[in-house]
Amino acid sequence: MGKRANGEGSVFPYKDGWAGYVWVTTPEGKKTRKWAYGKTREETHEKWLKLHGLASRGPVATKHPTLAAYLTRWLAEVIEANREPTTYASYEVLVRLYMIPGLGKKRLDKLTVRDVQTWINTLPTLCTCCDQKKDHRRPEDKRRCCSKEKCCKDYPSRSTIASIRRVLRSALGNAIREELISKNVAGLTVLPNASKTKKAKSHGVWNVDEARRFLEHLREVKEPLYAAYVLILILGLRRGEVLGLAWDCVDLDGEQLWVSRQLNRVRGQLLHRDTTKTKDSTASLPLLGLCVSALRERRRIQEEARQNAGVRWQDSDLVFTTKNGTPVEPRNFYRSFERYCEKAGVPRIRVHDTRHTCASMLAALEVHPRVAMRILRHSQISMTMNVYTHITSPATRIALDRLNESLDS
Protein backbone atom coordinates (compact mmCIF):
# COMPACT_ATOMS: atom_id res chain seq x y z
CA MET A 1 0.00 0.00 0.00
CA GLY A 2 2.95 2.32 0.51
CA LYS A 3 3.29 5.05 3.05
CA ARG A 4 0.05 6.84 3.98
CA ALA A 5 -0.23 10.56 4.47
CA ASN A 6 -1.50 12.10 7.70
CA GLY A 7 -5.26 11.73 8.04
CA GLU A 8 -5.42 9.05 5.30
CA GLY A 9 -6.46 6.28 7.69
CA SER A 10 -5.30 2.65 7.88
CA VAL A 11 -6.18 -1.02 7.34
CA PHE A 12 -5.38 -3.62 10.00
CA PRO A 13 -6.45 -7.05 11.38
CA TYR A 14 -9.66 -6.83 13.41
CA LYS A 15 -11.40 -9.70 15.23
CA ASP A 16 -12.09 -12.43 12.60
CA GLY A 17 -11.26 -10.22 9.65
CA TRP A 18 -9.87 -6.82 8.73
CA ALA A 19 -10.92 -3.24 9.33
CA GLY A 20 -9.98 0.13 7.93
CA TYR A 21 -10.91 3.74 8.41
CA VAL A 22 -10.65 7.01 6.56
CA TRP A 23 -10.97 10.48 8.03
CA VAL A 24 -14.01 12.14 6.45
CA THR A 25 -15.99 15.35 6.82
CA THR A 26 -19.70 14.80 7.51
CA PRO A 27 -22.47 16.87 5.88
CA GLU A 28 -22.69 18.73 9.21
CA GLY A 29 -19.01 19.78 8.88
CA LYS A 30 -17.66 17.45 11.57
CA LYS A 31 -14.38 15.57 10.94
CA THR A 32 -14.57 11.92 12.03
CA ARG A 33 -13.57 8.37 11.12
CA LYS A 34 -15.53 6.29 8.64
CA TRP A 35 -14.98 2.53 8.93
CA ALA A 36 -14.87 -0.32 6.41
CA TYR A 37 -14.85 -4.02 7.28
CA GLY A 38 -14.11 -7.26 5.42
CA LYS A 39 -13.12 -10.89 5.88
CA THR A 40 -9.86 -10.50 3.95
CA ARG A 41 -7.31 -7.73 3.66
CA GLU A 42 -7.97 -7.41 -0.10
CA GLU A 43 -11.72 -7.03 0.40
CA THR A 44 -11.23 -4.44 3.14
CA HIS A 45 -8.62 -2.58 1.12
CA GLU A 46 -11.03 -2.31 -1.85
CA LYS A 47 -13.74 -0.86 0.40
CA TRP A 48 -11.15 1.44 1.95
CA LEU A 49 -10.16 2.78 -1.49
CA LYS A 50 -13.82 3.49 -2.41
CA LEU A 51 -14.31 5.23 0.91
CA HIS A 52 -11.16 7.26 0.38
CA GLY A 53 -12.45 8.29 -3.05
CA LEU A 54 -15.77 9.46 -1.57
CA ALA A 55 -13.94 11.45 1.10
CA SER A 56 -11.81 13.20 -1.54
CA ARG A 57 -14.92 14.33 -3.47
CA GLY A 58 -16.81 15.92 -0.59
CA PRO A 59 -18.75 15.32 2.63
CA VAL A 60 -19.55 11.72 3.59
CA ALA A 61 -22.45 10.67 5.82
CA THR A 62 -21.49 8.39 8.72
CA LYS A 63 -25.00 7.68 9.98
CA HIS A 64 -27.59 6.23 7.61
CA PRO A 65 -31.31 5.89 8.40
CA THR A 66 -33.58 3.18 7.07
CA LEU A 67 -35.52 4.06 3.95
CA ALA A 68 -38.71 4.22 6.05
CA ALA A 69 -37.19 6.78 8.44
CA TYR A 70 -35.78 8.84 5.59
CA LEU A 71 -39.04 8.86 3.59
CA THR A 72 -40.99 9.95 6.68
CA ARG A 73 -38.61 12.87 7.23
CA TRP A 74 -38.57 13.74 3.51
CA LEU A 75 -42.35 13.95 3.41
CA ALA A 76 -42.48 16.19 6.50
CA GLU A 77 -39.50 18.48 5.89
CA VAL A 78 -39.36 18.71 2.10
CA ILE A 79 -42.74 17.89 0.57
CA GLU A 80 -45.23 19.09 3.20
CA ALA A 81 -43.21 22.23 3.88
CA ASN A 82 -42.64 23.23 0.25
CA ARG A 83 -45.23 21.62 -2.00
CA GLU A 84 -49.00 21.85 -2.38
CA PRO A 85 -51.14 19.96 0.17
CA THR A 86 -52.60 17.83 -2.63
CA THR A 87 -49.08 16.81 -3.68
CA TYR A 88 -48.20 15.83 -0.13
CA ALA A 89 -51.42 13.83 0.22
CA SER A 90 -50.80 11.82 -2.97
CA TYR A 91 -47.12 11.18 -2.11
CA GLU A 92 -47.93 10.17 1.46
CA VAL A 93 -50.37 7.47 0.32
CA LEU A 94 -47.82 5.87 -2.01
CA VAL A 95 -45.09 5.99 0.64
CA ARG A 96 -47.28 4.58 3.41
CA LEU A 97 -49.05 1.85 1.42
CA TYR A 98 -46.29 0.68 -0.90
CA MET A 99 -42.73 1.89 -0.26
CA ILE A 100 -42.46 1.49 3.50
CA PRO A 101 -44.02 -2.02 3.59
CA GLY A 102 -41.91 -3.14 0.61
CA LEU A 103 -38.52 -1.48 1.16
CA GLY A 104 -38.77 0.42 4.43
CA LYS A 105 -36.41 -1.81 6.43
CA LYS A 106 -33.55 -1.37 3.96
CA ARG A 107 -30.80 1.02 5.03
CA LEU A 108 -30.78 4.07 2.80
CA ASP A 109 -27.12 3.78 1.77
CA LYS A 110 -27.41 0.01 1.25
CA LEU A 111 -30.39 0.20 -1.13
CA THR A 112 -29.40 -1.21 -4.52
CA VAL A 113 -30.83 -1.17 -8.03
CA ARG A 114 -31.51 -4.88 -7.66
CA ASP A 115 -33.46 -4.32 -4.42
CA VAL A 116 -35.73 -1.76 -6.06
CA GLN A 117 -36.09 -3.67 -9.34
CA THR A 118 -37.01 -6.90 -7.56
CA TRP A 119 -39.61 -5.06 -5.53
CA ILE A 120 -41.07 -3.26 -8.57
CA ASN A 121 -41.34 -6.61 -10.36
CA THR A 122 -43.60 -7.91 -7.57
CA LEU A 123 -46.05 -4.98 -7.71
CA PRO A 124 -48.09 -6.20 -10.72
CA THR A 125 -49.01 -9.36 -8.75
CA LEU A 126 -49.48 -7.65 -5.37
CA CYS A 127 -53.17 -7.59 -4.45
CA THR A 128 -53.52 -4.30 -2.58
CA CYS A 129 -56.69 -5.51 -0.88
CA CYS A 130 -54.92 -8.56 0.59
CA ASP A 131 -51.68 -6.71 1.35
CA GLN A 132 -53.38 -3.78 3.07
CA LYS A 133 -56.15 -5.94 4.61
CA LYS A 134 -58.87 -3.68 3.24
CA ASP A 135 -61.54 -6.36 3.52
CA HIS A 136 -60.69 -6.98 7.19
CA ARG A 137 -61.58 -3.36 7.98
CA ARG A 138 -65.09 -3.67 6.53
CA PRO A 139 -68.09 -4.48 8.74
CA GLU A 140 -68.60 -8.21 9.17
CA ASP A 141 -71.67 -8.33 6.93
CA LYS A 142 -69.87 -6.51 4.08
CA ARG A 143 -66.70 -8.58 3.91
CA ARG A 144 -66.40 -10.36 0.60
CA CYS A 145 -62.85 -11.36 -0.38
CA CYS A 146 -59.46 -11.57 1.37
CA SER A 147 -60.92 -11.92 4.87
CA LYS A 148 -62.67 -15.03 3.50
CA GLU A 149 -59.52 -16.24 1.70
CA LYS A 150 -60.92 -15.16 -1.69
CA CYS A 151 -58.42 -12.89 -3.46
CA CYS A 152 -60.14 -10.14 -5.48
CA LYS A 153 -56.94 -9.55 -7.51
CA ASP A 154 -56.96 -5.82 -6.89
CA TYR A 155 -53.54 -5.27 -8.49
CA PRO A 156 -52.05 -1.77 -8.91
CA SER A 157 -52.28 -0.40 -12.45
CA ARG A 158 -49.26 0.42 -14.59
CA SER A 159 -49.85 4.15 -14.00
CA THR A 160 -49.85 3.57 -10.23
CA ILE A 161 -46.59 1.61 -10.44
CA ALA A 162 -45.08 4.41 -12.54
CA SER A 163 -46.17 6.95 -9.92
CA ILE A 164 -44.60 4.86 -7.14
CA ARG A 165 -41.27 4.74 -8.94
CA ARG A 166 -41.44 8.46 -9.77
CA VAL A 167 -42.00 9.42 -6.12
CA LEU A 168 -39.20 7.11 -4.93
CA ARG A 169 -36.87 8.58 -7.55
CA SER A 170 -37.73 12.08 -6.33
CA ALA A 171 -37.06 11.09 -2.71
CA LEU A 172 -33.69 9.54 -3.53
CA GLY A 173 -32.79 12.57 -5.64
CA ASN A 174 -33.23 14.68 -2.54
CA ALA A 175 -31.03 12.25 -0.59
CA ILE A 176 -28.27 12.86 -3.15
CA ARG A 177 -28.63 16.62 -2.69
CA GLU A 178 -28.32 16.10 1.06
CA GLU A 179 -25.17 14.04 0.36
CA LEU A 180 -26.59 10.95 2.07
CA ILE A 181 -26.11 8.72 -0.98
CA SER A 182 -24.19 9.04 -4.23
CA LYS A 183 -26.50 7.29 -6.72
CA ASN A 184 -30.23 7.30 -7.44
CA VAL A 185 -30.95 3.59 -7.75
CA ALA A 186 -34.67 4.12 -8.50
CA GLY A 187 -33.79 6.01 -11.68
CA LEU A 188 -31.93 2.97 -13.01
CA THR A 189 -34.87 0.57 -12.74
CA VAL A 190 -37.27 -0.51 -15.49
CA LEU A 191 -41.06 -0.58 -15.29
CA PRO A 192 -42.74 -3.96 -15.86
CA ASN A 193 -43.90 -4.68 -19.38
CA ALA A 194 -47.36 -3.27 -20.15
CA SER A 195 -48.66 -6.78 -20.90
CA LYS A 196 -47.80 -7.82 -17.33
CA THR A 197 -49.55 -4.95 -15.58
CA LYS A 198 -53.16 -4.05 -15.00
CA LYS A 199 -54.42 -1.29 -17.24
CA ALA A 200 -55.84 1.81 -15.57
CA LYS A 201 -59.61 1.80 -15.48
CA SER A 202 -61.00 3.35 -18.63
CA HIS A 203 -63.55 6.10 -18.02
CA GLY A 204 -66.17 7.25 -20.45
CA VAL A 205 -66.42 10.48 -22.39
CA TRP A 206 -69.63 12.19 -23.43
CA ASN A 207 -70.40 13.19 -26.96
CA VAL A 208 -71.97 16.60 -27.63
CA ASP A 209 -75.57 15.37 -27.55
CA GLU A 210 -75.06 13.66 -24.18
CA ALA A 211 -73.51 16.83 -22.75
CA ARG A 212 -76.40 18.86 -24.15
CA ARG A 213 -78.99 16.50 -22.62
CA PHE A 214 -77.21 16.77 -19.28
CA LEU A 215 -77.31 20.59 -19.32
CA GLU A 216 -80.92 20.65 -20.52
CA HIS A 217 -81.94 18.44 -17.59
CA LEU A 218 -80.21 20.80 -15.13
CA ARG A 219 -82.10 23.74 -16.62
CA GLU A 220 -85.40 21.87 -16.34
CA VAL A 221 -84.90 21.11 -12.63
CA LYS A 222 -83.50 24.63 -12.05
CA GLU A 223 -80.25 23.41 -10.50
CA PRO A 224 -78.65 26.39 -8.63
CA LEU A 225 -75.14 25.28 -9.65
CA TYR A 226 -76.03 24.93 -13.33
CA ALA A 227 -73.40 27.53 -14.29
CA ALA A 228 -70.69 25.42 -12.67
CA TYR A 229 -71.44 22.53 -15.01
CA VAL A 230 -71.51 24.90 -17.99
CA LEU A 231 -67.99 26.11 -17.13
CA ILE A 232 -66.77 22.54 -16.67
CA LEU A 233 -68.10 21.45 -20.06
CA ILE A 234 -67.46 24.61 -22.12
CA LEU A 235 -64.17 25.82 -20.61
CA GLY A 236 -62.84 22.50 -19.32
CA LEU A 237 -62.40 23.75 -15.74
CA ARG A 238 -61.45 21.22 -13.08
CA ARG A 239 -63.73 20.63 -10.10
CA GLY A 240 -61.39 22.45 -7.71
CA GLU A 241 -61.00 25.37 -10.12
CA VAL A 242 -64.73 25.92 -10.63
CA LEU A 243 -65.58 25.59 -6.91
CA GLY A 244 -62.74 28.00 -6.04
CA LEU A 245 -63.79 30.62 -8.61
CA ALA A 246 -64.42 34.06 -7.06
CA TRP A 247 -66.43 36.93 -8.48
CA ASP A 248 -63.38 39.19 -8.58
CA CYS A 249 -61.94 36.81 -11.18
CA VAL A 250 -64.99 37.12 -13.44
CA ASP A 251 -65.53 40.00 -15.89
CA LEU A 252 -68.97 39.51 -17.41
CA ASP A 253 -68.90 42.78 -19.36
CA GLY A 254 -65.45 42.01 -20.77
CA GLU A 255 -66.50 38.37 -21.27
CA GLN A 256 -63.47 36.75 -19.64
CA LEU A 257 -62.45 35.08 -16.40
CA TRP A 258 -59.22 34.16 -14.62
CA VAL A 259 -58.70 30.77 -13.01
CA SER A 260 -56.28 31.43 -10.17
CA ARG A 261 -57.70 29.53 -7.20
CA GLN A 262 -58.78 26.04 -6.23
CA LEU A 263 -61.07 24.67 -3.56
CA ASN A 264 -60.17 21.16 -2.39
CA ARG A 265 -60.55 19.04 0.70
CA VAL A 266 -57.16 17.71 1.68
CA ARG A 267 -56.52 15.58 4.78
CA GLY A 268 -59.84 16.63 6.26
CA GLN A 269 -59.36 20.37 5.65
CA LEU A 270 -61.22 22.48 3.08
CA LEU A 271 -58.51 24.58 1.42
CA HIS A 272 -59.10 27.60 -0.82
CA ARG A 273 -55.69 28.05 -2.40
CA ASP A 274 -54.44 30.88 -4.61
CA THR A 275 -52.69 28.45 -6.94
CA THR A 276 -53.73 26.28 -9.85
CA LYS A 277 -52.36 23.11 -11.37
CA THR A 278 -50.26 24.75 -14.09
CA LYS A 279 -48.87 28.20 -14.83
CA ASP A 280 -51.00 28.44 -17.98
CA SER A 281 -54.13 27.90 -15.87
CA THR A 282 -53.83 31.45 -14.51
CA ALA A 283 -54.24 33.04 -17.98
CA SER A 284 -57.57 34.68 -18.78
CA LEU A 285 -60.16 32.58 -20.61
CA PRO A 286 -62.78 33.99 -22.97
CA LEU A 287 -66.36 33.62 -21.81
CA LEU A 288 -68.68 32.38 -24.54
CA GLY A 289 -72.29 33.52 -24.71
CA LEU A 290 -73.63 30.43 -22.99
CA CYS A 291 -71.15 30.92 -20.13
CA VAL A 292 -71.97 34.62 -19.71
CA SER A 293 -75.70 33.92 -19.62
CA ALA A 294 -75.24 31.11 -17.11
CA LEU A 295 -73.06 33.27 -14.81
CA ARG A 296 -75.51 36.19 -14.91
CA GLU A 297 -78.24 33.75 -13.90
CA ARG A 298 -75.97 32.40 -11.17
CA ARG A 299 -75.45 35.89 -9.77
CA ARG A 300 -79.23 36.42 -9.62
CA ILE A 301 -79.74 33.06 -7.85
CA GLN A 302 -76.99 33.82 -5.35
CA GLU A 303 -78.41 37.27 -4.54
CA GLU A 304 -81.82 35.71 -3.98
CA ALA A 305 -80.27 33.13 -1.65
CA ARG A 306 -78.46 35.92 0.24
CA GLN A 307 -81.74 37.72 0.91
CA ASN A 308 -83.49 34.51 2.00
CA ALA A 309 -80.66 33.53 4.36
CA GLY A 310 -80.55 36.91 6.10
CA VAL A 311 -78.18 36.85 9.08
CA ARG A 312 -77.22 33.23 8.32
CA TRP A 313 -75.47 34.31 5.13
CA GLN A 314 -71.67 34.01 5.15
CA ASP A 315 -69.81 36.23 2.68
CA SER A 316 -67.02 34.54 0.77
CA ASP A 317 -67.04 36.16 -2.71
CA LEU A 318 -67.17 32.66 -4.20
CA VAL A 319 -69.28 32.25 -7.32
CA PHE A 320 -70.63 28.87 -6.26
CA THR A 321 -71.90 28.59 -2.69
CA THR A 322 -74.57 26.84 -0.65
CA LYS A 323 -77.86 28.49 0.24
CA ASN A 324 -76.14 30.06 3.26
CA GLY A 325 -73.11 31.34 1.36
CA THR A 326 -70.65 28.69 2.54
CA PRO A 327 -68.28 26.94 0.08
CA VAL A 328 -69.63 23.92 -1.76
CA GLU A 329 -68.21 20.68 -0.41
CA PRO A 330 -66.27 19.04 -3.31
CA ARG A 331 -67.50 15.57 -2.42
CA ASN A 332 -71.13 16.73 -2.38
CA PHE A 333 -70.62 18.35 -5.79
CA TYR A 334 -69.40 15.02 -7.13
CA ARG A 335 -72.36 13.15 -5.63
CA SER A 336 -74.78 15.62 -7.21
CA PHE A 337 -73.05 15.17 -10.56
CA GLU A 338 -73.46 11.38 -10.38
CA ARG A 339 -77.12 11.74 -9.41
CA TYR A 340 -77.84 14.09 -12.33
CA CYS A 341 -76.08 11.75 -14.77
CA GLU A 342 -78.60 9.06 -13.89
CA LYS A 343 -81.61 11.37 -14.02
CA ALA A 344 -80.55 12.92 -17.33
CA GLY A 345 -80.14 9.49 -18.88
CA VAL A 346 -76.48 9.92 -19.83
CA PRO A 347 -73.51 7.60 -19.06
CA ARG A 348 -72.08 8.06 -15.59
CA ILE A 349 -68.54 9.44 -15.82
CA ARG A 350 -66.19 11.28 -13.48
CA VAL A 351 -66.42 15.06 -13.19
CA HIS A 352 -62.82 15.25 -14.42
CA ASP A 353 -63.75 13.33 -17.59
CA THR A 354 -65.98 16.19 -18.73
CA ARG A 355 -62.76 18.03 -19.68
CA HIS A 356 -62.43 15.62 -22.61
CA THR A 357 -65.84 16.74 -23.91
CA CYS A 358 -64.75 20.38 -23.94
CA ALA A 359 -63.26 20.39 -27.47
CA SER A 360 -66.37 18.79 -28.95
CA MET A 361 -68.62 21.33 -27.22
CA LEU A 362 -66.54 24.21 -28.55
CA ALA A 363 -66.77 22.83 -32.07
CA ALA A 364 -70.53 22.38 -31.71
CA LEU A 365 -70.83 26.02 -30.63
CA GLU A 366 -68.85 26.98 -33.77
CA VAL A 367 -66.08 28.62 -31.76
CA HIS A 368 -63.11 29.71 -33.87
CA PRO A 369 -60.13 27.33 -33.56
CA ARG A 370 -57.87 30.13 -32.29
CA VAL A 371 -60.31 30.84 -29.44
CA ALA A 372 -60.60 27.11 -28.76
CA MET A 373 -56.80 26.90 -28.61
CA ARG A 374 -56.80 29.54 -25.88
CA ILE A 375 -59.54 27.78 -23.93
CA LEU A 376 -57.96 24.34 -24.26
CA ARG A 377 -54.58 25.88 -23.27
CA HIS A 378 -52.67 24.33 -26.15
CA SER A 379 -49.27 25.70 -27.14
CA GLN A 380 -49.73 25.00 -30.86
CA ILE A 381 -52.76 25.31 -33.13
CA SER A 382 -51.97 21.87 -34.60
CA MET A 383 -52.71 20.30 -31.21
CA THR A 384 -56.09 22.01 -31.16
CA MET A 385 -56.99 20.91 -34.69
CA ASN A 386 -56.17 17.28 -33.83
CA VAL A 387 -59.04 17.21 -31.32
CA TYR A 388 -61.17 19.97 -32.83
CA THR A 389 -62.76 17.88 -35.55
CA HIS A 390 -66.35 17.45 -34.37
CA ILE A 391 -68.93 18.38 -37.00
CA THR A 392 -72.19 19.08 -35.23
CA SER A 393 -75.60 18.40 -36.68
CA PRO A 394 -77.93 21.36 -37.35
CA ALA A 395 -80.37 19.96 -34.77
CA THR A 396 -77.69 19.92 -32.05
CA ARG A 397 -76.65 23.48 -32.86
CA ILE A 398 -80.28 24.67 -32.68
CA ALA A 399 -80.74 22.89 -29.34
CA LEU A 400 -77.64 24.59 -27.89
CA ASP A 401 -78.88 27.99 -29.10
CA ARG A 402 -82.23 27.29 -27.45
CA LEU A 403 -80.43 26.38 -24.20
CA ASN A 404 -78.66 29.73 -24.26
CA GLU A 405 -81.86 31.63 -25.07
CA SER A 406 -83.68 29.98 -22.16
CA LEU A 407 -81.32 31.79 -19.77
CA ASP A 408 -81.99 35.18 -21.31
CA SER A 409 -85.75 34.85 -21.35
Domain ranges of the chain: 10-57, 67-196, 208-408
Higher pLDDT, 103 or 212: 103
Is residue 178 predicted with pLDDT exceeding 70? yes
Q: Three-state SS string across the chain, please? A: CCCCCCCCCEEEEECCEEEEEEEEECCCCCEEEEEEEECCHHHHHHHHHHHHHHHHHCCCCCCCCEHHHHHHHHHHHHHHHHCCHHHHHHHHHHHHHHHHHHHCCCEHHHCCHHHHHHHHHHHHHCCHHHHCCCHHHCCHHHCCCHHHCCCCCCCCEHHHHHHHHHHHHHHHHHHHHCCCCCCCHHHHCCCCCHHHCECCCCCCCCCHHHHHHHHHHHHHCCCCCHHHHHHHHHCCCCHHHHHCCEHHHEECCCCEEECCCEEEEECCEEEEECCCCCHHHHCEEECCHHHHHHHHHHHHHHHHHHHHHHHHCCCCCECCECCCCCECCHHHHHHHHHHHHHHHCCCCCCHHHHHHHHHHHHHHCCCCHHHHHHHHCCCCHHHHHHHCCCCCCHHHHHHHHHHHHHHHC
216 compared with 59, residue with greater pLDDT? 216
Cα 293 to chain centroid, rounded: 33
Using only the alpha carbons of the chain, give its radius of gyration: 29
Nearest to 191 by CA among 146, 124, 240: 124
Among 55-69, 297-311, 323-337, 341-355, where is mean pLDDT lowest? 55-69
pLDDT given for residue 404 in this prediction:
60
Q: In CATH, what is the architecture of 208-408?
A: Orthogonal Bundle (1.10)
Q: To the nearest whole percent, how much of the chain has pLDDT over 70?
A: 85
Average pLDDT over residues 298-317: 93
In this prediction, residue 409 carries a pLDDT of 46
Distance CA 264, CA 321 (A): 14
Band of residue 7 on the pLDDT scale cut at 50, 70, 90: very low
Identify the pLDDT of residue 342.
92
> What average pLDDT does range 210-218 have in this prediction?
91
% of the chain at pLDDT higher than 90: 38
Top-level class of domain 67-196: mainly alpha
Mean pLDDT value of segment 258-284? 72
Q: Is the pLDDT of residue 5 over 50?
A: no
Report the pLDDT value the prediction gives residue 196, as an integer from 0 to 100: 63
Mean pLDDT computed over every residue of the chain: 83
Q: Is the pLDDT of residue 287 over 90?
A: no
Residue 30: how many CB atoms within 10 A of its CB?
A: 10
Pick from 309, 311, 340, 307: nearest CA to 324: 309
User: Torsion angle, CA of 72/78/80/82, rounded to 10 degrees?
Assistant: 180
Q: Is the pLDDT of residue 208 over 80?
A: yes
Given a cut of 70, whether residue 200 has pLDDT beyond it is no
Q: How many CB atoms lie within 10 A of CB 37?
A: 15
Q: Flag whether pLDDT at 45 surpasses 80.
A: yes
- Of the pLDDT bands very low, low, confident and very high (cuts 50, 70, 90), residue 140 is confident
Strand partners, 263: 272
